[in-house]
Amino acid sequence: MSQTSGPSEVVFDVLRYNPEKDAKPYRQEFTVAVTKGMTVLDGLVWIKENLDPTLSWRSSCRMGVCGSCGMFINGLPRLACANQVAHLHSDRVVIKPLPNFDIIKDLVPDLEAFFTRHRTVKPYLIRRAVEEQNQPTSEYFQSPQELVQYIQFAYCIKCGLCLSACPTVATDDRYLGPQALAQAWRYSADARDEGGKDREQEVYSSHGVFRCHFAGACSEVCPKGVDPAFAIQLLKQDLFKRKLSGCKEQHGSPVTAPITEAKENPKIPKAPAPTLTK
Protein backbone atom coordinates (compact mmCIF):
# COMPACT_ATOMS: atom_id res chain seq x y z
CA MET A 1 0.00 0.00 0.00
CA SER A 2 1.56 3.29 -1.05
CA GLN A 3 0.65 6.65 0.40
CA THR A 4 2.32 8.53 -2.44
CA SER A 5 -0.25 7.42 -5.01
CA GLY A 6 -3.23 8.82 -3.09
CA PRO A 7 -5.82 7.27 -0.77
CA SER A 8 -6.33 3.54 -0.80
CA GLU A 9 -8.79 1.25 0.93
CA VAL A 10 -8.25 -1.14 3.81
CA VAL A 11 -10.58 -3.41 5.70
CA PHE A 12 -11.03 -2.81 9.42
CA ASP A 13 -11.82 -6.21 10.92
CA VAL A 14 -13.22 -5.31 14.35
CA LEU A 15 -14.27 -7.57 17.20
CA ARG A 16 -17.69 -6.49 18.44
CA TYR A 17 -19.42 -7.39 21.67
CA ASN A 18 -22.30 -5.83 23.57
CA PRO A 19 -22.93 -7.88 26.74
CA GLU A 20 -26.48 -6.52 26.95
CA LYS A 21 -27.55 -8.24 23.74
CA ASP A 22 -24.76 -10.45 22.34
CA ALA A 23 -24.28 -14.06 23.45
CA LYS A 24 -20.61 -13.91 22.45
CA PRO A 25 -18.17 -11.64 20.57
CA TYR A 26 -18.31 -11.53 16.78
CA ARG A 27 -16.31 -9.88 14.00
CA GLN A 28 -17.50 -7.09 11.73
CA GLU A 29 -15.73 -5.65 8.71
CA PHE A 30 -15.64 -2.03 7.56
CA THR A 31 -14.01 -0.70 4.40
CA VAL A 32 -12.13 2.52 5.06
CA ALA A 33 -10.55 4.97 2.59
CA VAL A 34 -7.08 5.62 4.02
CA THR A 35 -5.55 9.05 3.76
CA LYS A 36 -1.96 10.05 4.39
CA GLY A 37 -1.06 9.97 8.07
CA MET A 38 -4.29 8.25 9.13
CA THR A 39 -3.88 6.40 12.41
CA VAL A 40 -5.87 3.36 13.49
CA LEU A 41 -7.77 5.65 15.85
CA ASP A 42 -8.57 8.02 12.98
CA GLY A 43 -9.99 5.06 11.07
CA LEU A 44 -12.20 4.06 13.99
CA VAL A 45 -13.47 7.62 14.32
CA TRP A 46 -14.31 7.65 10.60
CA ILE A 47 -16.24 4.37 10.98
CA LYS A 48 -18.20 5.72 13.93
CA GLU A 49 -19.04 8.98 12.15
CA ASN A 50 -19.90 7.47 8.77
CA LEU A 51 -20.78 3.78 9.09
CA ASP A 52 -21.72 2.64 12.59
CA PRO A 53 -22.30 5.08 15.47
CA THR A 54 -22.60 2.20 17.96
CA LEU A 55 -18.93 1.20 17.70
CA SER A 56 -17.29 1.74 21.11
CA TRP A 57 -13.72 2.22 22.30
CA ARG A 58 -11.84 4.37 24.81
CA SER A 59 -9.59 7.29 23.79
CA SER A 60 -8.69 10.82 24.83
CA CYS A 61 -5.49 12.68 23.92
CA ARG A 62 -4.83 11.25 20.41
CA MET A 63 -1.08 11.79 20.90
CA GLY A 64 0.22 8.78 22.82
CA VAL A 65 0.17 10.41 26.24
CA CYS A 66 -2.99 9.32 28.06
CA GLY A 67 -2.77 5.59 27.27
CA SER A 68 -6.53 5.25 26.86
CA CYS A 69 -6.67 3.75 23.36
CA GLY A 70 -4.80 0.50 23.97
CA MET A 71 -6.04 -2.24 21.61
CA PHE A 72 -4.89 -5.53 20.12
CA ILE A 73 -4.00 -4.44 16.58
CA ASN A 74 -2.74 -6.91 13.99
CA GLY A 75 -1.56 -9.33 16.64
CA LEU A 76 0.12 -6.92 19.07
CA PRO A 77 -1.03 -4.67 21.93
CA ARG A 78 -0.65 -1.11 20.62
CA LEU A 79 -1.93 2.42 21.06
CA ALA A 80 -4.44 3.11 18.27
CA CYS A 81 -3.46 6.79 18.15
CA ALA A 82 0.27 6.09 17.81
CA ASN A 83 0.12 3.63 14.90
CA GLN A 84 -0.52 4.77 11.35
CA VAL A 85 -2.46 2.43 9.09
CA ALA A 86 0.23 2.68 6.41
CA HIS A 87 2.91 1.51 8.86
CA LEU A 88 1.04 -1.74 9.49
CA HIS A 89 1.88 -2.77 5.90
CA SER A 90 -1.38 -4.64 5.43
CA ASP A 91 -4.65 -4.14 3.59
CA ARG A 92 -6.47 -5.55 6.64
CA VAL A 93 -6.44 -4.02 10.11
CA VAL A 94 -7.59 -6.61 12.65
CA ILE A 95 -8.61 -4.95 15.92
CA LYS A 96 -9.63 -6.63 19.16
CA PRO A 97 -9.85 -5.45 22.77
CA LEU A 98 -6.74 -5.99 24.89
CA PRO A 99 -6.20 -9.62 25.96
CA ASN A 100 -6.19 -10.52 29.68
CA PHE A 101 -8.98 -8.03 30.39
CA ASP A 102 -12.74 -8.47 30.51
CA ILE A 103 -14.69 -6.66 27.79
CA ILE A 104 -17.05 -3.86 28.77
CA LYS A 105 -18.19 -3.29 25.18
CA ASP A 106 -16.53 -3.76 21.79
CA LEU A 107 -12.94 -2.47 22.15
CA VAL A 108 -13.35 -1.15 25.70
CA PRO A 109 -11.42 -3.27 28.28
CA ASP A 110 -12.33 -3.37 31.94
CA LEU A 111 -9.33 -1.81 33.72
CA GLU A 112 -10.68 -1.91 37.28
CA ALA A 113 -8.46 -4.82 38.33
CA PHE A 114 -5.51 -3.14 36.60
CA PHE A 115 -5.79 -0.01 38.73
CA THR A 116 -6.41 -2.09 41.84
CA ARG A 117 -3.05 -3.78 41.27
CA HIS A 118 -1.47 -0.37 40.73
CA ARG A 119 -2.82 0.99 44.03
CA THR A 120 -1.71 -2.14 45.89
CA VAL A 121 2.00 -1.27 45.60
CA LYS A 122 1.49 2.21 47.07
CA PRO A 123 2.67 4.17 44.00
CA TYR A 124 3.50 7.40 45.78
CA LEU A 125 6.24 8.83 47.99
CA ILE A 126 6.09 7.58 51.57
CA ARG A 127 7.85 9.54 54.29
CA ARG A 128 8.23 8.62 57.93
CA ALA A 129 7.58 12.22 58.99
CA VAL A 130 3.91 12.17 57.99
CA GLU A 131 3.10 15.59 59.39
CA GLU A 132 6.00 17.16 57.49
CA GLN A 133 4.89 15.42 54.29
CA ASN A 134 1.32 16.64 54.67
CA GLN A 135 2.40 20.16 55.64
CA PRO A 136 5.83 20.55 54.00
CA THR A 137 8.01 23.45 54.97
CA SER A 138 10.45 22.94 52.07
CA GLU A 139 11.11 20.82 48.99
CA TYR A 140 12.56 17.32 48.96
CA PHE A 141 15.71 17.89 46.94
CA GLN A 142 17.46 15.23 44.89
CA SER A 143 20.47 15.25 42.60
CA PRO A 144 20.38 14.58 38.84
CA GLN A 145 22.19 11.30 39.54
CA GLU A 146 19.41 10.24 41.94
CA LEU A 147 16.79 11.14 39.34
CA VAL A 148 18.46 8.86 36.79
CA GLN A 149 17.89 5.87 39.08
CA TYR A 150 14.14 5.85 38.45
CA ILE A 151 13.18 8.35 35.72
CA GLN A 152 12.83 5.68 33.03
CA PHE A 153 10.11 3.96 35.04
CA ALA A 154 8.26 7.21 35.71
CA TYR A 155 7.23 7.41 32.04
CA CYS A 156 4.47 4.81 32.50
CA ILE A 157 1.13 6.05 31.11
CA LYS A 158 -0.96 3.18 32.54
CA CYS A 159 -2.14 1.98 29.14
CA GLY A 160 -2.29 -1.67 30.18
CA LEU A 161 -0.42 -2.97 27.12
CA CYS A 162 2.19 -4.71 29.26
CA LEU A 163 -0.44 -6.73 31.14
CA SER A 164 -2.17 -7.71 27.91
CA ALA A 165 1.12 -9.13 26.60
CA CYS A 166 2.16 -10.91 29.82
CA PRO A 167 1.76 -14.71 29.81
CA THR A 168 1.79 -14.83 33.61
CA VAL A 169 -1.13 -12.41 33.85
CA ALA A 170 -2.99 -14.74 31.50
CA THR A 171 -2.62 -17.65 33.94
CA ASP A 172 -2.69 -15.95 37.35
CA ASP A 173 -5.39 -13.36 37.97
CA ARG A 174 -3.75 -12.44 41.31
CA TYR A 175 -0.33 -11.68 39.83
CA LEU A 176 0.49 -8.01 40.36
CA GLY A 177 1.72 -7.68 36.80
CA PRO A 178 4.54 -5.73 35.16
CA GLN A 179 2.95 -2.30 35.43
CA ALA A 180 2.39 -2.35 39.18
CA LEU A 181 5.77 -3.95 39.87
CA ALA A 182 7.59 -1.41 37.70
CA GLN A 183 5.93 1.37 39.67
CA ALA A 184 6.86 -0.30 42.93
CA TRP A 185 10.50 -0.06 41.82
CA ARG A 186 10.04 3.49 40.51
CA TYR A 187 9.12 4.73 44.00
CA SER A 188 11.37 2.43 46.00
CA ALA A 189 14.34 3.60 43.90
CA ASP A 190 13.47 7.27 44.52
CA ALA A 191 15.94 8.74 47.01
CA ARG A 192 13.12 10.79 48.57
CA ASP A 193 11.05 7.70 49.38
CA GLU A 194 11.13 5.84 52.69
CA GLY A 195 8.39 3.30 51.97
CA GLY A 196 10.26 0.30 50.61
CA LYS A 197 9.30 -1.82 53.62
CA ASP A 198 5.64 -0.85 53.19
CA ARG A 199 5.60 -2.34 49.69
CA GLU A 200 7.49 -5.57 50.46
CA GLN A 201 4.51 -7.66 51.56
CA GLU A 202 2.79 -7.30 48.19
CA VAL A 203 5.84 -7.04 45.94
CA TYR A 204 7.51 -10.18 47.32
CA SER A 205 4.34 -12.20 47.89
CA SER A 206 3.63 -15.46 46.07
CA HIS A 207 1.92 -13.38 43.38
CA GLY A 208 4.67 -10.76 43.18
CA VAL A 209 8.01 -10.44 41.39
CA PHE A 210 8.97 -14.09 41.59
CA ARG A 211 5.91 -15.10 39.58
CA CYS A 212 7.53 -13.34 36.61
CA HIS A 213 9.01 -15.84 34.15
CA PHE A 214 10.93 -13.07 32.36
CA ALA A 215 9.26 -13.54 28.97
CA GLY A 216 10.01 -9.87 28.27
CA ALA A 217 6.80 -9.36 26.28
CA CYS A 218 5.79 -6.48 28.55
CA SER A 219 8.87 -4.46 27.63
CA GLU A 220 8.51 -5.32 23.95
CA VAL A 221 5.06 -3.71 23.67
CA CYS A 222 5.58 -0.74 26.01
CA PRO A 223 4.99 2.42 23.93
CA LYS A 224 7.12 4.57 26.25
CA GLY A 225 10.21 2.40 26.69
CA VAL A 226 9.57 1.92 30.40
CA ASP A 227 10.96 -1.64 30.28
CA PRO A 228 8.96 -3.14 33.17
CA ALA A 229 10.77 -6.48 32.79
CA PHE A 230 14.00 -4.68 33.75
CA ALA A 231 12.29 -3.08 36.76
CA ILE A 232 11.17 -6.52 37.96
CA GLN A 233 14.72 -7.83 37.74
CA LEU A 234 15.94 -4.82 39.71
CA LEU A 235 13.37 -5.58 42.42
CA LYS A 236 14.65 -9.16 42.64
CA GLN A 237 18.26 -7.97 42.71
CA ASP A 238 17.50 -5.46 45.44
CA LEU A 239 15.96 -8.14 47.65
CA PHE A 240 18.92 -10.48 47.24
CA LYS A 241 21.40 -7.70 47.96
CA ARG A 242 19.60 -6.77 51.16
CA LYS A 243 19.29 -10.39 52.26
CA LEU A 244 22.98 -11.04 51.56
CA SER A 245 23.91 -7.86 53.37
CA GLY A 246 21.90 -9.05 56.35
CA CYS A 247 23.72 -12.41 56.30
CA LYS A 248 27.09 -10.68 56.33
CA GLU A 249 26.13 -8.50 59.29
CA GLN A 250 24.60 -11.41 61.19
CA HIS A 251 27.48 -13.87 60.78
CA GLY A 252 30.28 -11.34 60.69
CA SER A 253 32.02 -12.93 57.71
CA PRO A 254 31.79 -12.79 53.92
CA VAL A 255 29.14 -14.88 52.24
CA THR A 256 31.88 -16.72 50.32
CA ALA A 257 33.63 -17.86 53.52
CA PRO A 258 32.44 -21.52 53.43
CA ILE A 259 33.75 -21.92 49.87
CA THR A 260 37.14 -20.49 50.81
CA GLU A 261 37.30 -22.70 53.90
CA ALA A 262 36.54 -25.84 51.91
CA LYS A 263 39.49 -25.18 49.64
CA GLU A 264 41.94 -24.61 52.49
CA ASN A 265 40.78 -27.28 54.97
CA PRO A 266 41.37 -30.86 53.72
CA LYS A 267 39.14 -32.27 56.48
CA ILE A 268 36.04 -30.87 54.82
CA PRO A 269 34.79 -33.38 52.20
CA LYS A 270 34.60 -32.17 48.66
CA ALA A 271 32.00 -33.07 46.06
CA PRO A 272 33.13 -35.90 43.76
CA ALA A 273 34.24 -35.01 40.26
CA PRO A 274 31.53 -35.51 37.62
CA THR A 275 31.66 -38.85 35.81
CA LEU A 276 31.32 -38.81 32.04
CA THR A 277 29.20 -41.57 30.54
CA LYS A 278 28.89 -42.56 26.94
10 bridge partner residues: 32
Clarify whether residues 105 and 116 are in a common domain: no
Q: What is the pLDDT of residue 172?
A: 95
What domain count does the chain have? 2
Residue 146 and residue 54 in contact, taking contact as beta carbons nearer than 8 Å: no
Q: Rounded to 5 degrees, what are φ and ψ at 50?
A: -120, -25
Decide: 20 and 34 in contact? Cβ < 8 Å.
Answer: no
Is pLDDT above 50 for 274? Answer: no
Does residue 261 have a pLDDT over 60? no
Establish if 37 belongs to a structural domain.
yes
Q: Is residue 4's pLDDT more than 90? A: no
Q: What is the pLDDT of residue 9?
A: 94
Q: Is the pLDDT of residue 28 over 60?
A: yes
What pLDDT does 244 receive?
A: 82
Note whether residue 263 is domain-resident. no
Q: Is the pLDDT of residue 272 over 70?
A: no
Inform me whether the pLDDT recorded for 17 exceeds 60.
Answer: yes
CATH label of the domain that carries residue 76: 3.10.20.30
Residue 126, domain extent: 112-251
Strands 8-16 and 92-96: parallel
What is the pLDDT, as a whole number, of residue 3? 46
Q: What's the mean pLDDT in 193-200?
A: 94
Entry field: residues in the chain: 278
Share of the chain above pLDDT 70, in %: 86
Q: What is the mean pLDDT of residues 1-26?
A: 83
**Rounded mean pLDDT, 241-256:** 58
* DSSP secondary structure letters along 196-208: HHHHHHHHTSTTS
Pick from 115, 119, 96: which is nearest to 107 by CA? 96
Write the pLDDT tens digit of every residue in 142-155.
999 999 999 999 99
- Specify whether 43 is located in the same domain as 58: yes
The verdict on 206 and 150 lying in the same domain is: yes
27-64: string of b/e by CB count within 10 Å (b at 16+)?
eeebebebeeebbbbbbbbbbeeeeeeebbbbbeebeb
CA–CA gap between residue 125 and residue 154 (Å, rounded): 13
43-86 pLDDT tens trace: 999 999 999 999 999 999 999 999 999 999 999 999 999 999 99
38 and 60 together in one domain: yes
Which residues partner with 11 through β-bridges?
Answer: 31, 92
Nearest in space to 99 (alpha carbons), one of 44, 20, 41, 166: 166
Higher pLDDT: 107 or 250? It is 107
